[in-house]
Amino acid sequence: MILRSPFRGVVQEVPAQQGANIKTGDPLVEVADLSSVWVWADFYEDELAMLKQGQKVVVTTKSFPDDKFEGEIALINPFLDVANRTSKVRIDIPNPDFKLRPGMYANVELSMDMGYGLTVPVSAIMPTGERYIVFVDKGGGKLEPRKVQLGNKIGDSYEVKSGLVEGERVVASANFLIDAESKVQGALKDFGGQQEDSQ
């Protein structure tokens, strides 16, 4: 007796064994249709506002580094992982060559027009609890601590909403060395005092 699968795919498991009793509803063969696959990607909560259903994305894998697989966002999980502060997003990708396989790790790339804005490297930001500080290069070896208001994190940069103007030079942590942490704390303390005096 020949039973035909309703769709083409790859046999994943055969629960039915020769000689076993089979009744209505018992699974005989598990067939996986890999012509279209899902990629579940984790996005941080501050990135979710940039996502929408139907948005085009590009997926790459280490297994096929020269290939780029195009897909689109099909589902954005409305629940957040409170431990990681991420939400899962399902991306549907056509897979006619069966290169993408269940269990693979993948990277997701999104391209979108973020408009124009001022950004600084992530390494230039010094978080101090309730505020973010950057050191502005004033020339002659002098550094001025400056409080900044940050927007979205875009790649290796932060959007700066206030506190800096275009053309000012900020110091990245990889490019300078402060002898002792006390100097940093002293500079920030003086900076805080100046802010209070000016109010």
Range of the domain at 55: 10-15+30-109
Residue from 91, 90, 89, 102 nearest 9 by CA: 102
Question: Which pLDDT score, from 0 to 100, does residue 21 have?
Answer: 85
pLDDT in tens, 15-63: 888 888 888 888 888 888 888 999 999 998 888 888 999 999 999 999 9
Tell me, what DSSP letter sits at residue 47? G
For residue 24, being part of any structural domain is answered with no
Residue with tokens 């280490």: 62
- My answer on whether 77 and 135 are in the same domain is no
For residue 122, being part of any structural domain is answered with yes
For residue 75, being part of any structural domain is answered with yes
The percent of residues above 90 in pLDDT, for the chain, comes to 35
Average pLDDT over residues 77-96: 94
pLDDT in tens, 123-134: 888 888 788 988
- My answer on whether 136 and 180 are in the same domain is yes
The CATH number for 186's domain is 2.40.420.20
- My answer on whether 35 and 105 are in the same domain is yes
Tell me how many domains the chain contains: 2
- My answer on whether 96 and 122 are in the same domain is no
> Which of the listed residues 83, 109, 135 is the one where a domain comes to its end?
109
Confidence of residue 179 (pLDDT cuts 50, 70, 90): very low
The pLDDT of residue 178 is above 70: no
- My answer on whether 58 and 102 are in the same domain is yes
pTM of the full predicted structure? 0.58
Given a contact cutoff of 8 angstroms between Cβ atoms, the answer to whether 153 and 135 are in contact is no
- My answer on whether 45 and 92 are in the same domain is yes
Mean pLDDT of the chain: 83
> Which of the listed residues 75, 109, 143 is the one where a domain comes to its end?
109
